[in-house]
Amino acid sequence: MKNHFQSSIHYGGYIYGFDNAILKCISAHTGKEGWKQSGFGKGSLILADGHLIVLSERGRLTLVEATPNEYREKGTIQVLQGKCWTMPALADGKLYLRNQKEMVCLDIAENRPSFKPQMFDGFA
């Protein structure tokens, strides 16, 4: 894996991460590629509850099942514009994402009644 912005994730004997601009899953034991998916640019990702939360280089957020057999996308949404080179952060059911000019907080907890994004503007 040729990571640019963060290290890969080891989960269940497999490594998930970006090899240049290709999201990949490879076996940690054999090095054999399980799957690969393009279209994210040099994105970033975290693991939560058996899923990859992937933020593309251009602000598209995608939920992917962390399975070695095939790429299984669960959903995607455009949340930011411009360069997004920092990895997502998850705390207390809230997902924090940012680009070079703004930050967004998504309430993704299952027990909360509605999705309410909050924007934070003008930070350095």
Residues 69-102: tens digit of each pLDDT: 999 999 999 999 999 999 999 999 999 999 999 9
What is 9-121's CATH number?
A: 2.40.128.630
- The mean of the pLDDT values for the chain is 89
Mean pLDDT confidence for 8-19: 96
Domain boundaries, the chain: 9-121
Predicted structure pTM score: 0.86
Looking at the chain, which runs of residues are DSSP E strands? 9-11, 14-19, 22-27, 33-37, 44-48, 51-55, 60-65, 72-78, 89-91, 94-98, 102-107, 118-121
Confidence of residue 4 (pLDDT cuts 50, 70, 90): confident
Which of residues 5 and 75 earns the better pLDDT score?
A: 75
Is pLDDT of 62 > 90? yes
